[in-house]
Amino acid sequence: MWRKGLLNVLCVNHARGNEQLVLQRTGGDHQRVLLHYRSRPDRAHREIAELLFRLRRLRNQADYDDQMQATVTSVYIALRRARQVLASLETLQT
């Protein structure tokens, strides 16, 4: 669970610190961050948005879908996507 939170913090800190994203400290901030990355003109931001969306969908399935079987494959997919987000954030900071 802490990894999901850490990834979110890194995305939020980048958007606030480097791109002046203003958050309201409400539940809607998750959507605001996703829309921020999705609306940017460059491909790196949009890729981050897509990866965050897919990670959130996997997490929601794991949390709420009684039919989902957590598989080793789904765990590896989530980890790969998280690594891709981190790599994309690094390219944005250079």
**Backbone φ, ψ for residue 27 (5° rounding):** -60, -25
Domain limits for position 51:
2-93
**Backbone φ, ψ for residue 28 (5° rounding):** -75, -10
Q: Where are the beta strands (DSSP E) in 4-84?
A: none
State the total domains in the chain.
1
What pTM, to 2 d.p., does this model score? 0.79
pLDDT profile of the chain (94 residues), mean per 10? 65 87 85 92 93 87 71 85 92 80
